[in-house]
């Protein structure tokens, strides 16, 4: 299986801050990476796929980048509704899809 390691596991930030979350795969995944946002008590929501493609309806303050084994999710200016947990997921190795352990983004 491909292991996905996110950092940090938790993060405190303020409204308006620029935030970056990193996801590292145990082997190259050729941009086959999705990012999800999950709020407490809610289902995950797809934010980006193919490492950098924004899902329809997702605000443009969310962006993704990376290649090979290392990927990042950036929120350019945090809004109150962005405080949530974020998960990366590789879909390169079909069908053994794996998620990162999550990053909890909290209000400072």
Partner 1 sequence: EVQLVESGGVVVQPGGSLRLSCAASGFTFDDYTMHWVRQAPGKGLEWVSLISWDGGSTYYADSVKGRFTISRDNSKNSLYLQMNSLRTEDTALYYCAKDISAVASGYFDYWGQGTLVTVSS
Residues forming the site for partner 1 (CB under 8 A)? 1, 32, 34, 36, 42-46, 49, 55, 87, 89, 91, 94-102
Nearest distance, CB of residue 87 and partner 1, angstroms = 6
- What is the SS3 assignment for the chain? CCCEEEECCEEEECCCCCEEEEEEECCCCCCCEEEEEECCCCCCEEEEECCCEECCCCCCCEEEEEECCEEEEEECCCCHHHCCEEEEEECCCCCCCEECCCEEEEEC
| Residue closer to partner 1, measured from CB, 66 or 100 | 100
Nearest distance, CB of residue 97 and partner 1, angstroms = 4
| Residue closer to partner 1, measured from CB, 27 or 96 | 96
| Residue closer to partner 1, measured from CB, 13 or 46 | 46
| Residue closer to partner 1, measured from CB, 65 or 101 | 101
Q: What is the Cα–Cα distance from 70 to 49, expressed in whole angstroms? A: 15
Nearest distance, CB of residue 19 and partner 1, angstroms = 19
């Amino acid at each position: 299986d491909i292991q996905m390691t996110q950092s940090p596991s938790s993060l405190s930030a303020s409204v308006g801050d620029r935030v970056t979350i990193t996801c590292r795969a145990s082997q190259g995944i050729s941009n086959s990476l999705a990012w999800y946002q999950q709020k407490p008590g809610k289902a995950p929501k797809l934010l980006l796929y193919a490492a950098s493609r924004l899902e329809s309806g997702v605000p443009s303050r969310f962006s993704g980048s990376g290649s090979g084994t290392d990927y990042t999710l950036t929120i350019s200016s945090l809004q109150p509704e962005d405080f949530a947990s974020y998960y990366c997921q590789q879909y390169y190795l079909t069908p053994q899809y794996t998620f990162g352990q999550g990053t909890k983004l909290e209000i400072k």
